[in-house]
Amino acid sequence: MLDLYIKNLTFLFKWILITSVIGVLAGSGSALFLFSLEWCTNYRLNNPYVLYFLPLSGLLIGLWYHFLGTNVAAGNNLIIDEYHKPKEIISIKMAPMVLITTLMTHIVGGSAGREGTAIQMSASLSDQLSRMFKIDSFDRKLILLAAISGGFASVFGTPLAGALFALEVALIGKISYKGIMVSFFAAYFSNFVCDAWGIHHTQYLVSEVPYFDLKYFPWVILAGIIFGITALSFSKATYIFANTFKKYINYPPFRPLVGGFVLLFFFLLFDLDKFQGLGVPFIEASFKNIETPQVFVLKLLFTAFTLSAGFKGGEVTPLFFIGATLGSALAVFMPLPVSLLAGMGFVAVFSGATNTPLACTFMAIELFGAAGGLYYGIACVVGYIFSGHSSIYSSQLIGEAKHPFFDFLKYKSLKNL
Amino acid sequence: MLDLYIKNLTFLFKWILITSVIGVLAGSGSALFLFSLEWCTNYRLNNPYVLYFLPLSGLLIGLWYHFLGTNVAAGNNLIIDEYHKPKEIISIKMAPMVLITTLMTHIVGGSAGREGTAIQMSASLSDQLSRMFKIDSFDRKLILLAAISGGFASVFGTPLAGALFALEVALIGKISYKGIMVSFFAAYFSNFVCDAWGIHHTQYLVSEVPYFDLKYFPWVILAGIIFGITALSFSKATYIFANTFKKYINYPPFRPLVGGFVLLFFFLLFDLDKFQGLGVPFIEASFKNIETPQVFVLKLLFTAFTLSAGFKGGEVTPLFFIGATLGSALAVFMPLPVSLLAGMGFVAVFSGATNTPLACTFMAIELFGAAGGLYYGIACVVGYIFSGHSSIYSSQLIGEAKHPFFDFLKYKSLKNL
């Protein structure tokens, strides 16, 4: 027992040291990213003509990744692959490339998110510390875990969700506590550092949470199923768009160029500025007013299309958008407050699309407060089950199938389904 | 994919049905238990002479279990054993026996808790549904999981914590999501049913949560380590007392008789009524005023002694007491608010003693609010790591060792360490 104590204390101090460094890297990276993203978004809003640069920006992103970034183009999937099957240190190039190309996506109005960028910056910077260790060692695994946790925690200002996201994301349906302390520490430090840079995160208001009466239970389940199917649809749409691009456009840099023209065409023709960029103000609005159903469908299509074409950024904020506006639309016939449904959708679509129900439950509590905890938890769990064996991260492995009948899928990668 | 959907929907409806029945059993059981426990506690407070019945009550409990209850005496450990290695349906006797003997423990002032009783009542009633299934089937496993979740959720009024507790408790350091939906549903239904009986749960007030500045981080870590060591000490003390009783008193029913005399002696000699029964008012007080360190030490010894002697009840409320008064005592030299430290100790000692850090983090959020989430999370995780390979449930298996060096302990039972 004394032996365990000495080992635990050594482990503790070693990882406080390492995660505090990762916290500085991840937190500062997220702060820089969020600051410049805000600048880009404001610039776009004040200078609507930038929209015309969508195709050009796409071409430049495409060319850059084609000639100088093939080894980092897989993004989050590369990080998950390295976690499962370590091959080499993630290139330091990944951080500036994903940062700049994400900004290039957002400034011209591409529909994309943030978490992918934050996690890739964090992982590419933090993984340089792995040079101290063997590439396939447990220490390296923990560094990647801490990098994911830190990137996520700091970009959304939700440390508990970040810690759980890193624990949940690599393996579907199973958590191991081997890295639990490291994940919590990295989340704490990176969030603290990002705060210290003066960054403020968006607050969403769930204004009313009724007592969770039995009469609401079927509605929460039904909403959860709808959120899960929507998450699945998003993953499938991304997959279909990406395959179509690959099939018809051989030369990769031309894909975002053509994609840019298509996006521009629709944005101009139908005056759809709501679907450009992050769309945070529209997410906020969906907590107050009931949305029409086409909003979430269009956002789903625009985001899947933007990212499949080869533009850069994360999927998560668009998933928040899709989920919140879908939840909001459900308030037309569901007897639950619109802000609560929007909050449930916000996290549950994300839960289904990334297979991280506990991270999403914590996220809801951190963003919307503890009162609706059980609503969010059940919506996230049902959303998780009903997204099937799909994910926005094709490198996830199945740790436990979503129904015991499918146990034969265990430890298969979603890529190979 | 359609195949998975049909299977998931069938699974969903089947388990909504089963967990709603378990919810009625678990929730009503907890309601009956909490109602009669309150009556017993009030009776004891109004009639202090009942204390003199400690030895007699102990003898009766001992005789009852010796002659009619050997197959249910293992309590929570029996349930965990059945979960891992199914042998037979848990006897329906367990429910009334544990209910009545727990009340017999509390009415005479024994220092004990509630969760063990609630979980055993829930499991013994719910497991009768297992007659529909094969004893070693996955369905039976889910019934036990739902029973644990429902018992815990309803007795404390904390559904998210109950759902996670059931997922975490059988295997240390690993969670599988195979039963995640069932666990959440059972927690919801049982909590709803217990509420519907008009039961109110104690609310604790964490009145001040400062911004989690870097200067607090070392204190939170140190507190977490102290909470973990305290959890370990509780488990060890129970083990030592139980072995001493076994060594010196051959006839089991005499153990609680002698134990009752010893408790009576100390209670009378030192006027220690603070340590009798649940002690909820003293837990509440520790959130307001700084405690002296001997309070938590004495509560630890009295509870370990009471339960080792063969009195009945849970360990969790005393662990809350120990943790909250210890946390409160730490406010003498730690620069954190007394209510926050008490709240951290409340959950983190429990986390270390049961190896359920996520359940405890959720519990803190459900009881004290979301503001201090990260404080509770880090305290619970560090408490978990620093309680070592110990537990109040000796039937827990090690899923992941708490330090990679101890990987050879994997899948060993704590009994065999």
What mean pLDDT is predicted for residues A343-356?
Answer: 97
Beta bridge partners of A314: A113
Which one, of B358, B223, B402, lies nearest residue A179 by Cα? B402
Last residue of a domain, one of B196, B225, B256: B196
Domain membership flag for residue A381: yes
For B280-314, write each residue's pLDDT tens digit: 889 999 999 999 999 999 999 999 999 899 888 88
Last residue of a domain, one of A133, A165, A196: A196
Looking at residue B74, what is its pLDDT? 85
CB contacts, 8 Å: A384 with chain B: 177, 180
Looking at residue A191, what is its pLDDT? 97
Is the CB of residue A187 less than 8 Å from the CB of residue B375?
no
Asked if A369 is an interface residue toward chain B (Cβ–Cβ < 8 A), one would say: yes
- Cross-chain residue pair B178–A173, CB shorter than 8 Å: yes
What mean pLDDT is predicted for residues B344-369?
Answer: 97
- Cross-chain residue pair B404–A188, CB shorter than 8 Å: no
* Stretch among A329-333, B72-76, B338-342 having the lowest mean pLDDT: B72-76
Domain count, chain B: 2
B271 has a pLDDT exceeding 80:
no
- What phi and psi values does residue B171 have, to the nearest 5 degrees? -125, 120
Looking at residue A144, what is its pLDDT? 96
Number of residues that this document lists for chain A? 417
Tokens representing residue A344 in the block: 């449930």
Asked if B405 is an interface residue toward chain A (Cβ–Cβ < 8 A), one would say: yes
Domain membership flag for residue B303: yes
Beta bridge partners of B398: B172
Domain membership flag for residue B185: yes
Shared domain for A25 and A135, answered yes or no, is yes
Which one, of B215, B364, B339, lies nearest residue A192 by Cα? B215
Interface of A with B in 140-199 (CB under 8 A): 159-160, 163-164, 172-178, 180-181, 184-185, 187-188, 191-192
Shared domain for B113 and B234, answered yes or no, is no
For B108-152, write each residue's pLDDT tens digit: 988 888 889 999 999 999 999 999 898 888 999 999 999 999 999
**Is B200 strand, coil or helix?**
coil
Domain membership flag for residue A207: no
CB contacts, 8 Å: A381 with chain B: 180-181, 184
Shared domain for B242 and B345, answered yes or no, is yes
Distance CA B276, CA B112 (A): 8
Torsion of CA A31, A33, A34, A38, to 10 degrees: 140
Distance CA B412, CA B402 (A): 13
Shared domain for A348 and A237, answered yes or no, is yes
* Three-class secondary structure assignment of B358-400: HHHHHHHHHHHCCCCHHHHHHHHHHHHHCCCCCCCCCCCEECC
- Cross-chain residue pair B184–A377, CB shorter than 8 Å: yes
Domain membership flag for residue A237: yes
Interface of B with A in 281-320 (CB under 8 A): none
Shared domain for B190 and B245, answered yes or no, is no
Shared domain for A156 and A16, answered yes or no, is yes
* Stretch among A53-57, B165-169, B179-183, B342-346 having the lowest mean pLDDT: A53-57
Shared domain for B106 and B13, answered yes or no, is yes
For A114-162, write each residue's pLDDT tens digit: 889 999 999 999 999 999 898 888 999 999 999 999 999 999 999 999 9
Shared domain for B190 and B223, answered yes or no, is no
Asked if A373 is an interface residue toward chain B (Cβ–Cβ < 8 A), one would say: yes
A271 Cα distance to chain centroid: 27
For B147-202, write each residue's pLDDT tens digit: 999 999 999 999 999 999 999 999 999 999 999 999 999 999 999 999 999 998 88
For A204-261, write each residue's pLDDT tens digit: 989 999 999 999 999 999 999 999 999 999 999 999 999 999 999 999 999 999 999 9
Domain membership flag for residue A71: yes
Which one, of A261, A265, A331, lies nearest residue A296 by Cα? A331
Residues 6+ apart with CB under 8 A from A126: A21, A22, A25, A26, A143, A144, A146, A147, A150
Question: Nearest C-alpha of chain A: how many angstroms from B385?
Answer: 8
Write out the residue range of the structural domain in which residue A239 sits: 214-416
Residue of B nearest to A390 (CA): B1
Domain membership flag for residue B95: yes
Looking at residue A417, what is its pLDDT? 75
Shared domain for A15 and A115, answered yes or no, is yes
Asked if A399 is an interface residue toward chain B (Cβ–Cβ < 8 A), one would say: yes
- Cross-chain residue pair A405–B370, CB shorter than 8 Å: no
- Cross-chain residue pair A405–B7, CB shorter than 8 Å: yes
Q: Which amino acid is at B361?
A: T
Domain harbouring A355, CATH code: 1.10.3080.10
Inter-CA distances, B56 with A107, A147, B43, B104, Å:
79, 60, 17, 10
Domain membership flag for residue A160: yes
Shared domain for B138 and B44, answered yes or no, is yes
Shared domain for B192 and B241, answered yes or no, is no
**Is B66 strand, coil or helix?**
helix
What mean pLDDT is predicted for residues A78-90?
Answer: 93
Tokens representing residue A385 in the block: 């089950």
Distance CA A260, CA A56 (A): 8
A199 has a pLDDT exceeding 90:
yes
Asked if B49 is an interface residue toward chain A (Cβ–Cβ < 8 A), one would say: no
- Cross-chain residue pair A160–B374, CB shorter than 8 Å: yes
For B211-222, write each residue's pLDDT tens digit: 999 999 999 999
- Cross-chain residue pair B374–A7, CB shorter than 8 Å: no
Interface of A with B in 221-260 (CB under 8 A): 221
Interface of B with A in 87-106 (CB under 8 A): none
Q: How are beta strands B397-398 and A397-398 bridged, if at all?
A: unpaired
Question: Nearest C-alpha of chain A: how many angstroms from B258?
Answer: 32
Last residue of a domain, one of A170, A196, A222: A196
CB contacts, 8 Å: B356 with chain A: none
For A269-318, write each residue's pLDDT tens digit: 877 777 888 888 899 999 999 999 999 999 999 999 998 998 888 888 99
Shared domain for A220 and A184, answered yes or no, is no
B270 has a pLDDT exceeding 80:
no
Question: Nearest C-alpha of chain B: how many angstroms from A181?
Answer: 6
- Cross-chain residue pair B361–A1, CB shorter than 8 Å: no
